[in-house]
Structure 1
Amino acid sequence: MPATTAAQKVRKGSKLTMTKKTRSTVHFHRPKTLALARNPKYARRAVPQPAPMDKFNILRFPVTTEAAMKMVEDENTIVFLVDRRANKGAIAQAFKSCYEISPARVNTLIKPDGSKKAFVRIPAGTAAVDVASKVGLL
């Protein structure tokens, strides 16, 4: 090292002032590392997942018993067998998208054999008989 640079270092001083980060919390966390997307070599499940429910899977078919026909005439209600996993909102939405009529109310029950039955009440202004013929009941 030449004498001039040594003299400069002595004049300047060897200590550099560093600014320190102000810590706002007493806990120290390691920084987050790179998270790569999963790219499996093989499927971890042997059985594929069931297909997501769409309007055709939710409303399976209308019930055609005499009691159900009486409900169509007397109570403005159409009875469907529906997917067991479907909730009332999904049933109402599926009915509206299939038949262009927004139901007034949906009641459900689970039958002893494990299937789910939905009672779809048609609004008072619309005749359930017309909707039932559109569905294919009459």
Structure 2
Amino acid sequence: MGPKAVSKTPTKTGKQANAAAKAALRGSYANKKRAIRKNTSFHRPKTLELSRAGKYPRKSVPHAPRMDAEKVLIHPLNTESAMKKIEENNTLVFICNVKANKRQIAAALKKQYDVSCVKINTLIRPDGSKKAFCRLTADVDALDIAATKLAIV
């Protein structure tokens, strides 16, 4: 028996190697498709924008809190109508800072008198001061708070 004939057809790996050699000769960017622009306006793609860190603080010392609990509530009101609110509606009436909002008033009441409010209604009086009607929760008696902590009854 004579030697076996060697076939000249390349194997699968040989075909892949030939294709890779041709691609290396041609260059991999030869067949790149170009996107067609159909619009005249160009929108710049969004890129990563890191937050800036200042080189130095713009204020040397930060300001102390402008509206603390002592500045929010000025004094309780003890007029006849305020007493009626205390007795009938479980509501305390305060004169407050004009710039204080309802959340600040509620926080000041919680801090100073340890009572929590269900609802706060405010109005600006004709003399320019702010009046706050603070309805307390059902478990707290406004008359008791007015007598013990406010000393107005």
TM-score by length of 2: 0.58
1:39–1:109 distance in 2 versus 1, CA, 3 Å: closer
Matched, 1:137 2:152: yes
Task: Indicate the percent of aligned positions where both proteins have the same amino acid.
Answer: 41
Structure 2 residue runs of 5 or longer lacking an equivalent are: 1-42, 46-52
Q: How many Å separate the matches in 1 of 2:44 and 2:103? A: 48
Q: Which ranges of 4 or more aligned residues in structure 1 deviate by more than 4 Å?
A: none
RMSD (CA atoms): 2.7
Q: Secondary structure at the match of 1:61?
A: strand
Matches within 5 A, 1:13-92: 36-37=55-56, 52-92=66-106
Amino acid at match of 1:78: L
Amino acid at match of 1:132: A
| Length, aligned pairs only | 103
Q: Secondary structure at the match of 2:87?
A: helix
Matches within 5 A, 1:89-104: 89-104=103-118
Q: How many Å separate the matches in 1 of 2:94 and 2:144? A: 16
Q: What's the offset of the Cα at 1:35?
A: 5.3
Query: Over alpha carbons, which structure has the higher Rg?
Result: 2
Q: Secondary structure at the match of 1:112?
A: coil
The answer to which structure, 1 or 2, has the higher relative contact order (CA under 8 A, 6+ apart) is 1
Q: What's the offset of the Cα at 1:64?
A: 1.0
TM-score by length of 1: 0.64
Structure 1 residue runs of 5 or longer lacking an equivalent are: 1-24, 28-33, 41-48
Q: What's the offset of the Cα at 1:50?
A: 9.4
1:26–1:50 distance in 2 versus 1, CA, 3 Å: closer
